[in-house]
Amino acid sequence: MKITNICCIGAGYVGGPTMAVIAKHNPDIKVTVVDMNAARIAAWNDSDVNNIPIYEPGLSDIVAETRGRNLFFSTDVDQAIFDAEMIFISVNTPTKTYGKGKGMASDLKYIELCARQIAHVAKDDKIVIEKSTLPVRTAQTIKSILKHTGNGVQYQILSNPEFLAEGTAIRDLENPDRVLIGGDHNEEGQKAIDALVKIYEAWIPKEKILTTNVWSSELSKLTANAFLAQRVSSINAISELCEVTGADVTEVARSIGMDSRIGSKFLQASVGFGGSCFQKDILNLVYIAKSYGLTEVADYWEQVIIMNDYQKTRFAHNIIRTLYNTVSGKKIAFLGWAFKKDTNDTRESAAIYVADILLNEQAELMVLDPKVDKETIYADLDYLKTRAPEENRKLVDVSSDPYEVCKDAHAVTILTEWDEFNTYDWQKIFDNMKKPAFVFDGRNLLDAIKMKEIGFMYESIGVR
């Protein structure tokens, strides 16, 4: 089966970059990314590629190369579904905020809407691909919706979860550790799998393309994120033990990471993991385990989240305690708001929760993030509903000038590991701060010895 026309529903952090890379390596295939968010599509179509809605190193170059050639962005979802032989569903699957499973289960309403729209529009056979991260056995739901349309259209459902990390999306897509494709092990299922394999083979070695049954593929995605997040919570748990014993968490991480069975990646102690995936996917895993009555399994994974919440709270409380038990009316500089460097995404960023705790104590915050705008910062705080929006605007200000952000501050906090924070003139920052001048480095980013030589009271994670 030769694919000539692909549609992707969802022009977000996954749909946009993934389809751009597929289009780049498959110039003969027309790829149309559709979204019901008209503003987002307009931004993808902005004549200046620097204005596309997602910041990812290398992405704008690929969009410049492919957009209008074989990559298109549109709000006409029906037309794109109608035309395509292969449809990726890459819509958001956030944690439910209502009803059964509230605060734990994935909200699949957008997935179901997509399935219903496909069922309504399709007039010929389609391969439907789950690109979104989904609870194990969701393909069953999609299949059931598509099967009951009665218009004779045949569907094959594949699971093709995405493993890219934000900030390195293009690198991860160009050179993935593996591509995972789950499908039915019958003749038609195999044909669909082969069609998708062919698209990836345009740039990925065959041995890196793994095929499994649908349920293994769905569950592997949740499991991969749970394992990665577990490593961060594990090293963060050890970071507190380091602080009370005189061990240094960076030395411990290096020492254990050299054991090839453990490996050195994902052992960076921090103020806590953020991002739209880890928490959502683990909560979902916990919910699934509970729904099958597997209490011990659920409790085991839930602890990863409990530890992460503790790490964020612990960081904020340490600031308050160190600033003589009161931050009321004190200016605190926030360097970083995104959940990690090289992205403009702030979903579940630790910075939001640390800020919220400090604001409860009436601190005055001044924030700088190289890629996050003022409105997003206010929206993130307002979303928590901890205080009135006017109050957030009164207590929080934003600037792009680090020297203004830190001027007269009692403390500077590092919440995101942006490289540029290391290039600042820290002597100048010190000279203009209130004394004693505190730095709370939630990313162990700055040079501790240099900072102490300048005169800062410098604290990082897992080192005292």
Site string for ligand UDX, 262-281 (x = CB under 6 A): ----xxx-x--xxx-xx---
Asked if 232 interacts with ligand UDX (CB under 6 A), we say: yes
Work out what residue 339 binds among ligand UDX, ligand NAD, none; the CB cut-off runs from 5 to 8 Å by kind: ligand UDX
Give me the least distance between CB of 175 and ligand UDX, in Å please: 14
Tokens of 450: 């240099």
Query: Are 130 and 161 in contact, with CB atoms under 8 Å apart?
Result: yes
Which member of 13, 44, 73, 458 binds ligand NAD (CB under 6 A)?
Answer: 13
Q: Is the peptide bond before 176 cis (omega within 30 degrees of 0)?
A: no
Q: Is 132 or 225 the residue whose CB approaches ligand UDX more closely?
A: 225
Tell the residue number behind the tokens 């806590």, with chain if given. Answer: 272
Q: How many residues bind ligand NAD (CB under 6 A)?
A: 26
Residues 52-111 that bind ligand UDX (CB under 6 A): none
From residue 344, give the alpha-carbon distance in Å to each of 26, 363, 369. Answer: 28, 25, 9
358 binds, among ligand UDX, ligand NAD, none (CB under 5 to 8 A by kind): none
Binding of ligand UDX by 312 (CB under 6 A): no
Contact between 367 and ligand NAD by CB under 6 A: the answer reads: no
The reply to whether 346 sits near ligand NAD by the rule CB under 6 A is: no
Is 339 a binder of ligand UDX (CB under 6 A)? yes
Interacting span for ligand NAD (CB under 6 A) from 109-117, 312-320, 322-330, 374-382 = 109-117
Q: Does the protein bind ligand NAD through residue 276 (CB under 6 A)? A: yes
One character per residue 55-94, x = contact with ligand NAD (rule: CB under 6 A): ----------------------x------------xxxx-
Two structure tokens written together for 402:
């680090």
Query: Does the protein bind ligand NAD through residue 228 (CB under 6 A)?
Result: no
Q: Is 310 in the site for ligand UDX (CB under 6 A)?
A: no
Q: How far apart are CA 464 and CA 455, in angstroms?
A: 16
Q: Is 14 in the site for ligand NAD (CB under 6 A)?
A: yes
Residues 104 and 285: their CA atoms lie apart, in Å, by 9
Is residue 339 close enough to count as binding ligand NAD by CB under 6 A? Answer: no
Q: How many CA atoms lie within 13 A of 315 on its CB side?
A: 34
Query: Nearest approach, Cβ of 200 to ligand NAD (angstroms)?
Result: 16
Q: Among ligand UDX, ligand NAD, none, what does residue 270 contact (CB within 5–8 Å per kind)?
A: ligand UDX
Segment interacting with ligand NAD, rule: CB under 6 A, options 12-20, 180-188, 232-240, 321-329: 12-20
Minimum Å gap between C-beta 160 and ligand UDX is: 12
In the list ligand NAD, ligand UDX, none, the entry touching 31 (Cβ below 5 to 8 angstroms by class) is: none
Minimum distance, C-beta of residue 235 to ligand UDX, in the bound complex (Å) = 7
Show which residues are catalytic.
277
Compute the least distance from the CB of residue 40 to ligand UDX, in Å.
19
- Establish if 442 lies at the interface with ligand NAD (CB under 6 A): no
Min. distance of Cβ 256 from ligand UDX in angstroms?
13
Nearer to ligand UDX, 147 or 254 (CB): 254
For residue 112, the minimal CB distance to ligand NAD (Å) is 9
Positions that interact with ligand UDX (CB under 6 A): 162-166, 225, 228, 232, 266-268, 270, 273-275, 277-278, 339-340
Positions that interact with ligand NAD (CB under 6 A): 9-15, 35-37, 40, 77, 90-93, 110, 113-114, 132-133, 162, 164, 166, 276-277
